[in-house]
Structure 1
Amino acid sequence: MLSHPASGPNPAWQISIIFVLVTTTTIGAVVGTCGYLVPALAIATKDYFQVDAAFIGYQVTLVFGFGGISSLITGGFVARFGPGRIMQMALLVSAAGCLLYSVPNKIVLTLGSIVIGYSYGMTYPSASVLLTRFGNPERLNFLFSFRQASTALGAVVAGLLGPLLAITWGWQGAFYLMAAVSVVAAIMVHRICPFWDDLTDPDASISPPWAGVRIILNNRPLLMICGIGFGFSAVQVGVLAFLVLFLSEEVGFSLTEGGIALSLINLLGAGSRMAWGWQADKLRNSMQVVAVMGLITAATIAGFSFANADWPQWATFATLSLFGVATFGWSGIVMANIAARADPEKMAETVGGALGFMFSGAWVGPSVGSLVLQLTGSYRYVFGFLFITALIAAFLAVRISLQKS
């Protein structure tokens, strides 16, 4: 049975759920910023290498695709090395990826996308173990939603910082800075590891990458929930991958305005995640909340696909704001549902397997979107694909909602 590493009336502050929540969220935001710099600096990178938009779309695909692979692999290492040590390694890997991505060579840059993606998926199994261990089971939707806000916060920082540094220092400057930040954060995490890794067993067997997937496939409710996560992830990352490019090429936004738009929807997404999670904790069936989000997301994408240079800026920003509020809240609720159904002794493996499905969605969204864009030359067809995907995810949420009622 999992227990706290400190006992008595005054347990160590390092295991306070508030500290654990804020720290894991901050680590996730640092690693997330590194990943979201790729789409945030899409225009600058595209112009530097003289490549088309699809090339950047494939880089985003690699980031989130390898995030899924790393989540599958990392889940099996948590028991032996501890969640704190794994998060520290994620920060160091992220720093290495940023340095590789900043090299002005397309092959090395692509390798950087892979390494950044690998670091991106390493933090989730560890954070899930910590939140489930130290958090209140009745507040899991909120706790996981707060932690998942790190993704949106990372995108906000990338959207604001990336274009600014690209203008002043060149597009590599943002990656140099985040590499340094990641190393400093890794050094700070070292002091926390003894409190988070007290249950680490150096002799624990390392589960194979497919162990978590097998757990998911053998549990129909978990599999359906992962299907929802797959769909929403494809939609969320798919829109973000092409947002700045679409606004620049079709709507007439500048690079800075595109970065502001990217930051706006992610900032609203970060705040709305916690609101959605809080609401989900109040309901007996949190999948009802997810279904509502899916329907709003689909409607918003349908409307945004018709945006053009004739639209007033306020209308574009209003539509994107609604997208940010509706689309980002799913992940914390989905992860909380998975954690609540998982065997506590197999938490990391189960979460890793579930994340494999979700990161696969993050791979499919920009990848299929890039293919559609190459074949049709129109962003409207890309958004059409994402619209259908959002509807399917919403339908699955409705099904689970009805089954639970």
Structure 2
Amino acid sequence: MLAKAITATLGVQAMIVTASLVVPLTAAAVAPSLGLEPHLVGYYASLTFLAAALASLATPQWVRRYGAIRVHQIMLLVAVAGLVVLSAETLTGFIISALLLGLAYGPANPASSSLLTRYTSSGTRARVFSLKQTAVPLGGALAGFAVPFLMTRIGWLGAALAVAAVCLFGALLIGGWRRALDHQDDHAPVGRTGAVAALRLISVSSTLRPLGIMAVCFAATQFNFTAVFAAVLVERMRWSPVEAGSALSIALAVSVASRLGWGWVADHLPPRFVLAALGAMMASATVACAFLAPTWPGVVVYAIAFLFGASGSSWNGLALSEAAHFAPIGHVGEATAGIMFFIYTGALIGPALFSLVTSISGTVTLAFLLLGLFALLPVPLLLLRDYSVVESSPATKAVI
């Protein structure tokens, strides 16, 4: 059953990640048709993650009522709608697309965490969650190679509709596993625990609160990089969309292996030290992006992509594994939903902040430096305070 659960959750999340990157990867072609600059794609990403943050909080209730696999099917269908609406080729259509893709993206981790926790032990949890989280770089790498390629053949809208067709096929495919994986407890009546309780669970827990702070800062840097890196390479480095997409794909492909590696390390060493190291590496790669110039050799750009992929795209599984480990019994969904809310909040802040600072300053340099600082902020907290030995507040039990 664990193999089926991993396959379903990993596959669905990879498809949704691919769908969410269609517009960022085609920004050079899409933005001019709307009278916008390519770097403003950051606002599209922020809208996506605003919707994702809100959807993640409601996910535990949806999973209880409909089952984890049914929720995954609904996610894929909403992603299809988010891509199809791009056909309108209007600013309103793109806003609606961003919001729909966010609603599809948001439930992925809380729903999958509820499912996977049922089949894992504490000794394998970090590895299993890190394996499942390879869906993000796998989907990103697939998007980085396939979307620009399809755009050169059938246009950016044709590429979007092709990805929509894949998502529709996926929704039909996983329906056959619903009977095996959606157990009766997934259909229990919705309890009193809701969105507010998920947030309170994080805020009052001395073990979960540091993870929430870290999640905001790391996610702001990570998702900004994913949203704007290709567009910056096209606009500032004068790379072609295919070349820029390949650089992003390298970053995300590297993180597939690194997530598994860091998951193994975190099963043998204190995860907070691993997370602190990833934060420092992420900050270094982001600061390097601030000084990108057309004269830089391609190998240096690929090295930056490699470093970010090994760090900035590799921490999420560890964070969710820690949240599941320290969650009160029976409330893994709420704990991971709360952490995902903070992740999506950071994902909302990062790209929007980048676009705002770039618009004001006229350059991406200051924006990248600021996002690099974001990645560094939680590192002292992780190194100096061992949150894993702090008892959760008694108030934690009062909110569930």
TM superposition score normalised by structure 2: 0.93
Partner of 2:84: 99
Residue of 232, 237, 240 corresponding to 2:226: 240
Q: d(CA) in 2 for partners of 1:203 and 1:244?
A: 45
Distance 1:172 1:343, change over 3 A: same
- Indicate conservation of the 8 Å contact 1:84/1:196, yes or no: yes
What CA deviation, in whole Å up to 9, does each residue of 1:352-388 have, x standing for no partner?
1111111000000001111101110110011011111
1:222 paired to 2:170:
no
Residue of 380, 386, 390 corresponding to 2:371: 386
1:311 Cα deviation (Å)? 0.9
Q: d(CA) in 1 for partners of 2:305 and 2:203?
A: 35
Distance 1:201 1:323, change over 3 A: closer
Residue of 245, 267, 285 corresponding to 1:259: 245
Residue of 296, 319, 322 corresponding to 2:307: 322
Amino acid at match of 2:327: A
1:63 Cα deviation (Å)? 1.2
- Indicate conservation of the 8 Å contact 1:57/1:241, yes or no: yes
Partner of 1:189: 174
1:205 Cα deviation (Å)? 2.8
1:223 Cα deviation (Å)? 1.1
Partner of 2:138: 153
1:276 Cα deviation (Å)? 0.6
Q: Give the RMSD, CA atoms, in angstroms.
A: 1.6
- Indicate conservation of the 8 Å contact 2:19/2:160, yes or no: yes
1:404 Cα deviation (Å)? 4.8
What CA deviation, in whole Å up to 9, does each residue of 1:292-312 have, x standing for no partner?
111111122222321211111
1:50 Cα deviation (Å)? 2.6
Amino acid at match of 2:370: F
What CA deviation, in whole Å up to 9, does each residue of 1:201-225 have, x standing for no partner?
3433363322210111111220111
Q: d(CA) in 2 for partners of 1:301 and 1:91?
A: 32
Q: d(CA) in 1 for partners of 2:44 and 2:37?
A: 12
Q: Percent identity?
A: 28
- Indicate conservation of the 8 Å contact 2:39/2:228, yes or no: no
1:402 Cα deviation (Å)? 7.7
- Indicate conservation of the 8 Å contact 1:25/1:148, yes or no: yes
Partner of 1:123: 108
What SS does the aligned partner of 1:323 have? Answer: helix
Partner of 2:395: none
Mapping of 1:280-319 within 5 angstroms?
280-283=266-269, 285-319=270-304
| Greater displacement, 136-145 / 394-403 | 394-403
What CA deviation, in whole Å up to 9, does each residue of 1:66-123 have, x standing for no partner?
1111101112221121111111111111111111123211101210110011100122
Distance 1:80 1:54, change over 3 A: same
1:191 Cα deviation (Å)? 1.3
Q: Which 5+ residue runs of structure 2 have no aligned equivalent? A: 391-400
Partner of 2:328: 343
Amino acid at match of 1:98: L
| Greater displacement, 38-47 / 378-387 | 38-47
Query: Which contiguous aligned blocks of 4+ residues in structure 1 show a shift greater than 4 angstroms?
Result: 401-405
1:38 paired to 2:23:
yes
1:269 paired to 2:255:
yes
What SS does the aligned partner of 2:144 have? Answer: helix
Partner of 1:163: 148
Count of residue pairs the alignment pairs up: 389
1:343 Cα deviation (Å)? 2.1
Distance 1:401 1:304, change over 3 A: farther
- Indicate conservation of the 8 Å contact 2:5/2:181, yes or no: no
Amino acid at match of 1:235: T
What SS does the aligned partner of 1:113 have? Answer: helix
- Indicate conservation of the 8 Å contact 2:39/2:355, yes or no: yes
- Indicate conservation of the 8 Å contact 1:294/1:391, yes or no: yes
What SS does the aligned partner of 2:118 have? Answer: helix
Q: Which 5+ residue runs of structure 1 have no aligned equivalent? A: 1-14
What SS does the aligned partner of 2:187 have? Answer: coil
- Indicate conservation of the 8 Å contact 2:61/2:190, yes or no: no
